[in-house]
Structure 1
Amino acid sequence: MSRVVALLALLWLAAFPAFADETCERRTELPPTVNFRVDNDLFGGQDQGYSNGVQLTLVSPNLADYTQDPCLPRLARLVNRYLGAIQPSGFEQQNMVVTFAHAIFTPTDFSRSDLIEDDRPYVGGFLVGLGYNARNGDQLQTTQLRLGMIGPSARGEEVQNGVHRIIGADRFKGWDNQLHDEPVFMLQHERMRRFGGSEGVWGWDAISHYGGAVGTLATFANVGGEVRFGLRLPDDFGSTPLRPAGENTAPRSQTRRGGAWRWHGFLTADARWVLRDITLDGNTWRDSHSVDKEPFVAYVGFGFALMKGSWKFALARYQGTREFETQKEPPVFGSFTISRAL
């Protein structure tokens, strides 16, 4: 399964240069974007829980539709013919987002090779996501379908050992106790509204969000918001990667590609009522290690984003409430994102 997902990722990447097709008239106005993000709890002084995550995101320009627009590669238009039920319509602006993500979750004690019953399971996961954003003025709705695999086929052990070998960290010894292979899916929908903003040099805005997800990967309802202040704020829906329309993946009503420096700081929060989380509840159809999760969790974060020309760099730090009853410390992790408009 992981080889199939990897092949799909290569096909999407090979198709991505089609965004530069001269027939895509909107390219020069609102160009496509590539985002690369790395999450790691070492940025927060830990090495446990959500230990590491890597995500590559391909963002289309604004689209006329999802099946005919030449701004999309042919492969994307073909796939979209079968996903009409989750695609928005009747909006002023819309775009498509494709993501490839790998995530690793580990318990606290790296030295134990036995099953640690009161700590979270070892989990590695590889996911492909297809997202659809639609905007009317200061309101946005986004829907994302994620498909992938958790378990040994996701190669969590190999990825973590490779990273720890590079940075000189200790190897986790309990990967023989990780969750079994299982294909997973999650359908997530969220709605956002932007308040404030300014056409001047200095400005602020606030973005509210609410939504939920259903699937074998996770099922939850969430609500939260983000506040930003800075120099030449982007006309988008937030800078935090905790949301599916974060990282400038939402359509913009205008863009600034000049050489002037742009920057802003942001504060963000998200609260969730969690009905299922496979990384804590264990495998869906087989017996496996699990812990008693907390039904209500929350995250707060702060960060800084710097932009110049076609480039954007963002650094953030997040802290959450305890995710399961026997968790020794609240989770803390950091995130670094680099983006480029093509």
Structure 2
Amino acid sequence: MKAFSFVVRGAFASAFAAMWVASMSMPASAEGLLTFKSENDNYSAGDDGHYTNGVEVSWAFIPPDQHWLRDLADTAPGWSANGLDGVAYRFTHQMYTPDNIEVARLIENDRPYAGVLMGGISLFDSERHTGWRKARSLTLDAGIVGPASGADFLQREFHRWIGSDKPEGWDYQLDNEPLLNLAYRSAWIAQRELNGYEVELGPSAGFALGNLYTYAATGLGVRFGENLERSFGIPSIAPSQGGRSTFLPGQGVGWYAFAAVEGRYMAHNLLLDGNTFEDSHSVNRREWVGDALVGAAFTWNQWQLTYTYAWRTDEFKEQARHDQFGSLSLSLWF
């Protein structure tokens, strides 16, 4: 509980710090949504291992007519500058470890140590029809995996600060390797009313291509709550990239609950398969992986707080049990 308390307080301290820094650097005319997302196994019943920590800071906004992301949309097949209803910049840092971090040797039958540092951009568009809508996202990420991500230093120092177990195996982490990944997702969402509340339900499909992840995915999601028209989307969980979860400001108090399932055919996962051009630790990746998500979002004027619980099937053949972790997102309109 002591470690959990430090994680939560640290996450929200970082959230307010990130928001303050961003607000000081933005022009007075800026209007957009700043989101700080923290993913950690301490937010659920999970152990301190596998996907152990992730932090993402994003800035989403509607681009003006003369903006380079609108030009980019015009060059992307099937996209157009006029169709954009939002874009986002994103910064991500993630840590992956085996289950037992106190062992100072290579654990061959558990996942490699790995740190990921990425920056990305996302394009969003949607089509509204009577009773349903279609939403799409296109995301490009670039970054690095390996010691240059700083994950080993951050985990060691954080564990020293909270008096937790010292991670001993980072000498066996994946080597430095540049990352480039493209992801696409489309969802078809039906809208209904149920006993005075609103319900959104629909399937989704997507894919990712790159040296970090290559996969095809399909899923089904549902949202239930009040005034769903003023909010949008179910939060994404790694490895999904650039998912859209937003809301309209100045609408008072609101809420919604959500649940989703997704299945992926994983053709490549650098974090399990090991480095592309160097010999490194690797495990036997499972090709079929599934996620189940449940959570809730609470909105108050310019603010939104979201919690997501994630349950994931085994990602590699040597894995002793499935993984579970949680995600906390804090968003603020400027």
TM-score range for the pair, normalised by the shorter chain length: 0.7 to 0.9
Equivalent position of 1:50 in the other structure: 51
Q: How many Å apart are 1:166 and its aligned residue?
A: 3.5
Equivalent position of 1:300 in the other structure: 292
Matched, 1:128 2:123: no
TM-score, normalised by the number of residues in structure 2: 0.85
Q: How many Å apart are 1:209 and its aligned residue?
A: 1.2
Equivalent position of 2:251 in the other structure: 258
Equivalent position of 1:153 in the other structure: 148
Higher strand share: 2
The alignment covers a number of residue pairs equal to 307
CA–CA distance in 1 between the matches of 2:218 and 2:150?
32
Q: Do the aligned partners of 1:200 and 1:232 also contact (CA within 8 Å) in 2?
A: no
Seq. identity, %: 28
Q: Which runs of 5+ in 1 are unaligned?
A: 1-8, 22-26, 70-76
CA–CA distance in 1 between the matches of 2:271 and 2:90?
20
Correspondence for 1:94 among 70, 82, 85: 85
CA–CA distance in 1 between the matches of 2:299 and 2:192?
17
Q: How many Å apart are 1:247 and its aligned residue?
A: 4.7
**Would the alpha carbon gap of residues 151 and 229 (structure 1) be closer, same or farther in structure 2, given more than 3 Å must change?**
same
SS of match in other structure, 2:165? coil
**Would the alpha carbon gap of residues 47 and 80 (structure 1) be closer, same or farther in structure 2, given more than 3 Å must change?**
same
Q: How many Å apart are 1:240 and its aligned residue?
A: 2.0
**Would the alpha carbon gap of residues 146 and 115 (structure 1) be closer, same or farther in structure 2, given more than 3 Å must change?**
same
Residue by residue over 1:104-129, the C-alpha shift from the partner in whole angstroms, topping out at 9 and shown as x without a partner, is 00001111111111110000010001
**Would the alpha carbon gap of residues 15 and 282 (structure 1) be closer, same or farther in structure 2, given more than 3 Å must change?**
farther
Paired letter, 1:265: A
RMSD: 2.5
**Would the alpha carbon gap of residues 93 and 197 (structure 1) be closer, same or farther in structure 2, given more than 3 Å must change?**
farther
Q: Do the aligned partners of 2:255 and 2:299 also contact (CA within 8 Å) in 1?
A: yes
Equivalent position of 1:340 in the other structure: 332
TM-score, normalised by the number of residues in structure 1: 0.83
SS of match in other structure, 1:134? strand
Instruction: Identify which range, 271-280 or 83-92, moves more after superposition.
Output: 83-92
Q: How many Å apart are 1:328 and its aligned residue?
A: 1.1
Matched, 1:187 2:196: no
**Would the alpha carbon gap of residues 64 and 135 (structure 1) be closer, same or farther in structure 2, given more than 3 Å must change?**
farther
Equivalent position of 2:170 in the other structure: 175
Residue by residue over 1:121-157, the C-alpha shift from the partner in whole angstroms, topping out at 9 and shown as x without a partner, is 0000100011111111111121100000000010111
Equivalent position of 1:231 in the other structure: 226
CA–CA distance in 1 between the matches of 2:315 and 2:273?
11
Equivalent position of 1:284 in the other structure: 276
Residue by residue over 1:14-57, the C-alpha shift from the partner in whole angstroms, topping out at 9 and shown as x without a partner, is 99614x43xxxxx7xxx510110000012223111100000001
Q: Which runs of 5+ in 2 are unaligned?
A: 1-17
Equivalent position of 2:216 in the other structure: 221
